[in-house]
Homo-oligomer: A and B are copies of this chain.
Amino acid sequence: MTGNERKSYSLAEISRQLGGEIEGDPATTVSRVATLENAAPGSIAFFANERYLPQLKTTRAGAVILGEAARKATGLPRIVSSNPYAYFARVSALLNPPSPVWPGVHSSAVVDASALISPQAEIGPHAVVGREARVAEGCVIGAGCHVGEGASIGAGARLFPGVTIYHGCVIGERVTLHSGVVIGADGFGIAMDQGHWVKVPQIGRVVIGNDVEIGANTTVDRGALDDTVIEEGVKLDNQIQIGHNVRIGAHTAIAACAGVAGSAKIGRYCRIGGASGIAGHITIADNVEISTYTLVTKSIRQPGTYTGAYVFEPHGQWLRNAVQLRHLADLADRVKALEGKPARPRRSKP
């Protein structure tokens, strides 16, 4: 799914499409993007962080994208932008367009006669599309994908090979799902009854908004009764687990290996760190940032950054210190005693 034809653009053409102000020769042409360090003539790189100043000084790039403050930091042809990293992303998209869609159903695909497939959609080899499923125009359903009964895939969505969409789930427009993603498997609903677990049928759906991207091997469970909802513009990295009846607010980004337990509600524009965990049934406000490896066990009402990760150290030092965690309450009591205050009443052990 790449477009390999490498086209050249002049800085003038780029700035005409994307804005920004040119310093140096507007006729300078570039045909690929690169890091400052590995750029060759004909490449355009970006400078958005002071610590790469040495690389800026020595880069062989043909042109550079940078911010206002760095306007004079190089003599190379350059484009000045208020957001050089996002500008670079757009230039890269210009130079690396997605691969074209090849409309049609591969002869090895198995598509139910009642499915509605746009003639402008591409259905890859060995894909399976179930009864009354819908695939809109401009979709690419990759090799070996499975679109379940009654599921709906919005216009321009791309499913890389090996994606599974369970029955009834709804995928928005321009959604990208990477390989191994599973949308709509049963949530973990079980009830203990006389020594056996009774399964609670999971009859909700997963509903995914427009412009969502989901990384490889991430799983989003269907709702138990109501739906699991991923709002528009959400970006999920790889190997994330989203439990049943979760709602993730628009434009929130979650890094790899995080887990969100059932019925949690996450706000808009949140940034959730890798391998973090959000407990079930809690609510997180808009614009909250959760650090890597942090377990959030209570609702968060205020924007801000929240953290709860253990600091690492050489193993022998950790051994000395970690064992004291088991005596921390006692230590606090002893300090209180030294201060001449009465110790807290001791809670009975569980």
Contacts and interface: CB of A to CB of B under 8 A. Distances in A.
Interface stretch (A9-17, A68-76, A89-97, A114-122): A89-97
A304 B187 CA distance: 26
Q: How many identical subunits does the complex contain?
A: 3
Interface string A303-318: 0111111111111111
Contact of A164 (B176, B179, B191, B326): B179
Interface stretch (A23-31, A133-141, A233-241): A233-241
Interface in A319-347: 319-329, 331-332, 334-335, 338-339, 347
Given A185-B160, A195-B251, A219-B180, A315 B306 contact: yes
Contacts of A241: 237-239, 256-257
Nearest to A271: B192
Contact of A93 (B2, B92, B199, B349): B199
Contacts of A180: 164, 180, 182, 217, 219
Contacts of A199: 89, 93, 213
A170 to B, nearest CB: 15
Interface in A273-295: 274-275, 277, 279, 290-295
A331 B176 CA distance: 50
B329 A324 contact: yes
A265 interface: no
Contacts of A188: 215, 235, 237-238, 255-256
A282 to B, nearest CB: 12
Interface residues of A, number: 128
A225 interface: yes
A243 B47 CA distance: 22
Interface string A93-113: 100100000000010101000
Interface of A: 1-2, 33-35, 38, 83, 85-86, 88-90, 92-93, 96, 106, 108, 110, 124-126, 128, 142-144, 146, 148-149, 160-162, 164, 166-168, 176, 178-180, 182, 185-186, 188-193, 195-201, 203, 211, 213, 215-217, 219, 221, 225-226, 233, 235, 237-239, 241, 243, 251, 253, 255-257, 259, 261, 269, 274-275, 277, 279, 290-297, 304-329, 331-332, 334-335, 338-339, 347-350
